[in-house]
Structures are given as structure tokens and as C-alpha cells.
Amino acid sequence: MSGLADAFAAARREGRAAFLAYLTAGDPDADTTAALARALERAGADVLELGVPFTDPIADGPVLQRAASRALAAGTTLPRVFEIARRIRRETRLALLLFTYLNPLHRRGIARAAGEAKAAGFDAVLVTDLPPEEAPEISATLRAGGLATVFLVSPTSPAARMRAAARLSSGFLYVVSRPGTTGARTSLPRDLAATVRRARRAAGDLPIAIGFGISTPESARQAARLADGVVVGSALVAAAERAGPDRDRSVERLARELAGACRRGEP
């Protein structure tokens, strides 16, 4: 089993949803990213989504756009992301998911990037702007490189697109809680349960994780009752941004609350 599959299996055995945390690699530097990864592991995270900073992050809200800008200003490139991942792999047991736009992979070469990502310790890859209709060849190349693949579906995805995304996904199916960009929200949409039911029909035995908009223990608790995994990104990045030098403790404190909320026995 891959580290990603192991993470979901362990969470399932323990009666909880897996906790997937997101960081932008190199924000504001490599040392900070590694330190935050260690803090997330201490807090109970199972999977780290490590984002590749990109100049045109159309899927990201203001918090992650600022994170990408800081990382790019620090000189973070795709090869640098792989260096950071190797360090995190040495220092933690987190499963690693490469969260990227298509352009950086194309510039590197899909097969080359897949091989380098695997060698760096990544278990899976999610390409945010790669629709299922255009993905079969790229997805096959990534899987041939030893990486699991993850695709996104949303409340507006018709059944055919959900089935296509599920067929191409070998790690988990990522359910976007609401249309739009990433970013913390105060509540989850009322139709999320219906969206997850549709996604499960498409996914079969494939794990499902919910992301986009989860920022509080209460929203994490709601998502954990519906899905196999809960993804939190902007809230953690914002906590680090606000805390400055105290970012490790601030992120660990929030992540610990979120991880606790993923336990389905919690009231």
C-alpha cells in the first residue's frame, strides 16, 4: 500500500476521518515549511498536501495567493519543492500529496516530474486545473511513475464527470464543498451531503475527502461525518501568516483541534 492508502486505512480502523493538511511549499522559506510539517504531524495530521507555488493560481483564494507570492519571491521552483519534500519525508511519517497546476509539470516534462516526485517521497499528485476529459494520458503517465492520482469534483459536477474523475483517481476522490476558489468559510453548504452521496455512487470503494472552506473544528466535524478525509488549507496558512515567529505553535494548536474533530465519536 502507498502512504496515502495507509493513511486512510489507519483512520478507518481508528473510527475517524483522515486529516489532510495543506501548506504552500517554500512559504516563506524551506525551513519554515519543514518546521510546519513537523508541527502538523505532532498535531495529528495524516497527509500533507504540499502546494507548488504558481504565478496564476486561479483555483486559490487570497490567502493561498499570498502564500504563493511569498514562496515565489523566495525562489521556490518545482525542483525546490522536491527538495523540501525529501526533507519532510526524512523528518516525518506524513503521506505526501503534490498539489500543483499543470503548467509546472509540463515545463518539467510529465514523466520526468513524476519520477522526481516519487523519488522525493510523494505518494500522490493532484493537478487542480486538469479536467477529467483531458487527463487520461497524463494520469497514466503519473501512475506509471508510481504516483497515485487525485481528481476534483464539485456540487456542480454532473454524474458523468464524477464517474470520469473517479475512474482516473487512484488515491481518493476530492469533493470540493462549494464552487469557487479555496478559502476559509464560516459554514459548510447545506447541499454538501447530497454532493457526497453522488460522489460515493461514482467512487465505489475509493476514499472520498472533502475540502475548500473547512476552517473550524465544527466544520471539520461535519465533514468527517460525511467523508473518509477532511482537507484544511487556507485556515492553517492564515494561522501561520498571522502568527509570524510563533507560527509553529499557532498552526499546531489549530491543527490539533481540527484533527480531534475528525474523530467521529466526538460530540
Q: Tell me: the pLDDT tens digits for 173-183? A: 999 987 655 55
| Of 134, 136, 166, residue with least CA distance to 151 | 166
CA distances from 123 to 70, 80, 108, 262 (A): 26, 17, 19, 22
Q: According to the model, what pLDDT value does residue 59 have?
A: 74
Would you say 53 and 74 are in contact if contact means Cβ atoms under 8 Å apart? Answer: no
Rounded to two decimals, the pTM is 0.94
What are 179-233's pLDDT values in tens digits?
A: 655 555 556 778 899 999 999 999 999 999 999 989 999 999 999 999 999 999 9
Would you say 171 and 123 are in contact if contact means Cβ atoms under 8 Å apart? Answer: yes
Q: How confident is the model at residue 60 (pLDDT cuts 50, 70, 90)?
A: confident
Would you say 224 and 17 are in contact if contact means Cβ atoms under 8 Å apart? Answer: yes
Give, for 208, the enclosing helix (H) or strand (E): strand 208-211
Q: According to the model, what pLDDT value does residue 190 have?
A: 84
Q: Which residues contact 90 (CB under 8 A, 6 or more apart)?
A: none
pLDDT of residue 83 exceeding 90, the answer is: yes
What are 242-256's pLDDT values in tens digits?
A: 998 899 999 999 999
Q: Taking all residues of the chain, what is their mean pLDDT, rounded to a whole number?
A: 93
Would you say 237 and 231 are in contact if contact means Cβ atoms under 8 Å apart? Answer: no
Q: According to the model, what pLDDT value does residue 106 have?
A: 96
What are 100-124's pLDDT values in tens digits?
A: 999 999 999 999 999 999 999 999 9
Residues labelled as active-site residues? 49, 60
Cα radius of gyration rounded to whole Å, the chain: 17
CATH code for the part of the protein at 3-261: 3.20.20.70
Q: How confident is the model at residue 58 (pLDDT cuts 50, 70, 90)?
A: confident
The residue extents of the domains of the chain are 3-261
DSSP summary character for residue 52: P
Q: According to the model, what pLDDT value does residue 188 have?
A: 79
